[in-house]
Structure 1
Amino acid sequence: MSQNPFDPAGGGNPMGGLDMGALLQQAQAMQEQLVAAQAELEAAEVTGTAMGVSAVVTGAGELRGVTIPAGTFDGGDAESLEDLGDAIVAAYRDARAQADQMAAEKLGPLAGGLGGLGAPGQEPGSMPGLPGGIGF
């Protein structure tokens, strides 16, 4: 990838101008890096916590598990169960925020070369015209 396919002096193209071969090589290399980064995110896990409840989420945002310490909530009390529901949601949101940050750090350098990624108003890791989120 040492060649610049947009080099006006030719960039390896004897006819001058855009070198499609070099451009395709760069695109393929970037796609391979993106696939590798996505695989890393799917394997990575982060834990969010709230009110003693923990939620484990992959770097891609998939919920893997929830841990509720024994005796923390009363299963016979409606208000306590409502608090439990709130704690689960808050723990998931905490973990998801960490997963989104991790994804932004891993995919950010790759997204810069894809034009539309990271545009204002788009979620990190989303592509124009595709649903938002990390899982392209």
Structure 2
Amino acid sequence: MAKGKGFNRGAAPAGGMGGGMMAQIRKLQEQMEAAQAQLEVETVTASVGGGAVKVTMTGAQVCKAIEIDPELLKDADVEMLQDLLLSGVNLALEQSRKLAEERMGPLAGGLSGLGL
């Protein structure tokens, strides 16, 4: 075998391309952590039943509040209230997932640019 032509021929030199990729990965990780932290405080509010029930949820899918219009309780229709609560929570979850996708999607695209 000729001198200088061994198994490590394609390896990146120390501090070369591999170091730049690691810096990109660290930067992307920091951006993702910042986006996740923002999602923990950013909220969406879903309104159902003409505003009779409102559900507020964070971008991290934590339910923060449920508001029920007192007028809705005057009829005391438990099944309707249960249906509205279920619809409100599911709609808030859907909106929260969309928010997370909007915030995290561009960062996930950065992973493909790194060849991961």
Deviating above 3 A after TM superposition, structure 1's stretches of 4 or more consecutive aligned residues are none
Instruction: In structure 1, give the amino acid aligned to 2:107.
Output: L
Corresponding residue SS for 1:64? strand
Q: What residue number does 2:91 align with?
A: 94
For 1:57 and 1:90, how far apart are their aligned partners in 2?
Answer: 13
Q: Percent identity?
A: 33
For 2:111 and 2:54, how far apart are their aligned partners in 1?
Answer: 35
Q: What residue number does 2:7 align with?
A: none
Kept in 2: contact 1:60–1:99 (CA 8 A): yes
TM-score normalised per structure 1: 0.65
For 1:114 and 1:97, how far apart are their aligned partners in 2?
Answer: 25
Kept in 2: contact 1:49–1:91 (CA 8 A): yes
For 2:109 and 2:71, how far apart are their aligned partners in 1?
Answer: 48
Aligned residue pair count: 99
Higher helix share: 2
1:73 Cα offset (Å): 2.7
Name the structure, 1 or 2, with higher relative contact order (CA <8 Å, separation 6+).
2
Unaligned runs of 5+ in 1: 1-12, 116-136
Matched, 1:56 2:53: no
Kept in 2: contact 1:49–1:90 (CA 8 A): no
Q: What residue number does 2:65 align with?
A: 65
1:74 Cα offset (Å): 4.7
1:47 Cα offset (Å): 0.4
Instruction: In structure 1, give the amino acid aligned to 2:79.
Output: E
Corresponding residue SS for 1:72? helix
Kept in 2: contact 1:46–1:56 (CA 8 A): yes
Kept in 2: contact 1:57–1:64 (CA 8 A): yes
1:106 Cα offset (Å): 0.6
Unaligned runs of 5+ in 2: 1-11
Pair member with larger Rg: 2
Kept in 2: contact 1:57–1:63 (CA 8 A): yes
